[in-house]
Chains A and B, each alone.
Chain A
């Protein structure tokens, strides 16, 4: 009897476990299906190939090309800048500081803390910076804010890839007479290229999807920006603004824009998966 009861408890919880796992899959499916269901019928070539025409926000002609291109500029710029800052940092931690364990752990701790800070805080800080330096809402201000926001994410992701390089590789490279910098950029960089590029793509995905940090820094405009000092439209904000419109046609467009954003995110995450299996040419297998 007692044994049966025990099994009963386990059985009960196993059913619950099965359910909770299913809930997660169902949630993802519901998100994707509900957005495709609402957005796909509205999505048209005109929508993704034109900038808003007059009366766009009253349901007339035009598209969201400004937001698509703006988002790509913004996320691309921020990812580039973050890579310039993040790659040396990640290599520095794993090549130069590898003997100072406590220091490295401390740095990782700070990076983890930074990663946890909400993007709206970065947005507010970016805004404070802007008003301090007298920059107006612009592509540049947006890029800087988003860079601050994704650097910790990128460095931590690169760090995870670099961390698993065997110590022997470092020692071999140094014993052959190469400097630490050479070891970092020639050996570790090539060895971890797949992991590093995955980290870059992951950060790009974060950058293109975030709305809170660019709400006050990048602004919004109907045109495609032609210089860094102009404001720029972005997809998340386009969705957000269109959805808060009372006009049904404009709301419909928000769903279509959401489809575009989801599509970009999915492409990026699939690319990241492919990347992590590619570029193994220079990799030494242990």
Chain B
């Protein structure tokens, strides 16, 4: 029992050590800052600039969150404050199933529905003639993927708010909507931010679904209709061929390490906020 505990507790350290060890080869040759902010990606001549991939990742993640956040928040308020029983009985399995669908299925859905929709309707509506494989496609697929994840956390947070708060507000003559807007939202705010943070880190690391619809062009994207090439897609796409070049291998490990550190920090901050706000309620 203690052995398993030690094993699992050591896992994050092992993860970091393993990837750092593998990427140290590249870090010896180049400084980290140089690698992060250089835009030149030419593995064959030993140039590894992660800038286009990091920017792509940011674009996809932020747009996905912008799409998912309002839907999640509104649905949470609906489900926790207004919804009838039968709505809840329908929505719980819906959220569960949505959360359980594998990412490759989301990718297939993206290719079948989202990409054509962007190419035929959304793109032309903005006067663009595009293939549909774009940052926007990646972000839309991601948004659907992180909605159940964020929703579960948000519902939990809203349920944890003591009823007395709402009762006091209602007793003072506030309407139900005023209570929600001014009392509950205020109380839940740290939790909401944390839930979005967790959603963002989930989106940041998602691989296959994004890889399938985002276009994978090594260039710094400047708009949502352009193709992008996020970090996880970079790792997944190039693994087969990099074996022959040690530096390339090292560069992809560094990409994984960057992902790991970013996601870990985001998770760490968000979880801390949630724990803090739970403490205050209790």
Contact = CB atoms under 8 A, between A and B. Distances in A.
Interface of A: 6-7, 9-10, 13-14, 16-21, 23-25, 27-28, 30-31, 34-35, 38, 85-86, 88-89, 91-93, 96, 105, 107, 109-114, 116-125, 127-129, 132, 148, 151-152, 155, 181, 202, 205, 208-212, 215-216, 236-237, 239-240, 243, 254-255, 258, 261-262, 265-266, 268-269, 273
Contacts of A121: 15, 19, 205, 256, 259-260, 263
Contacts of A119: 205, 207
Contacts of A25: 90-91, 94
Contact of A9 (B12, B78, B108, B177): B177
A211 B207 CA distance: 9
Interface in B163-181: 175-178
Given A21-B87, A24-B98, A34-B113, A120 B259 contact: yes
A55 B263 CA distance: 42
Given A24-B95, A119-B207, A236 B104 contact: yes
Contacts of B107: 240, 243
B64 interface: no
A246 B70 CA distance: 38
Interface in B70-126: 70-72, 74-75, 77-79, 82-83, 87, 90-91, 93-98, 100-109, 111-113
Interface string B108-151: 11011100000000000000000000000000000010011001
A124 B235 contact: yes
A34 B137 CA distance: 16
Interface residues of B, number: 81
B176 A10 contact: yes
A148 B206 CA distance: 17
B212 interface: yes
B201 interface: yes
Contact of B98 (A27, A92, A120, A254): A27
B239 interface: yes
Contacts of A92: 1-2, 4-5
B175 A120 contact: no
Contacts of B18: 125, 128-129, 132
B256 A125 contact: yes
B205 to A, nearest CB: 2
Contact of A96 (B1, B77, B98, B235): B1
A48 B197 CA distance: 41
11 contacts: A6-B175, A13-B74, A17-B77, A110-B9, A113-B271, A121-B259, A123-B236, A211-B102, A236-B208, A239-B105, A258-B105
B145 to A, nearest CB: 10
B37 interface: no
